[in-house]
Amino acid sequence: MNNARKLFERRKRRVRFAIRQKAAGRPRLSVHRSNAHIYAQIIDDLAGKTIAYASSAENGAKGGNAEAAALVGKAIAERAVAAGVKTVVFDRGGYLFHGRVKALADAAREGGLDF
């Protein structure tokens, strides 16, 4: 298990390095998923502040599926647009762009975010 965690951390560092090269001052849409829930936050790395946050745990329901991820994507897009953020860079962390992560990203794009 320790080796799997090391590989995950390496993927995460590789993705974050690429994001830093391409960000050009844009906020970062960071995704974290667990077995039960999915979380998204928009982070301004220059100021070190979280601009907007949404998760499937907010309503108390189980959120371990693509439908819940799509709801989180719509919620984070609405909150970001309300905070004045239109363009972000997508930080998938060490997760593959597949399943719940992809559903969240597609819903955020439909909600008005550009990345």
Would you say domain 2-110 falls under CATH 1.20.210.10? no
This prediction has a pTM of: 0.90
**Chunked mean pLDDT (size 10), the chain, 115 residues:** 91 93 92 94 94 89 84 96 96 95 97 95
Q: Give Cα 62 to chain centroid, integer Å.
A: 18
Other Cβ atoms closer than 10 A to 63 = 22
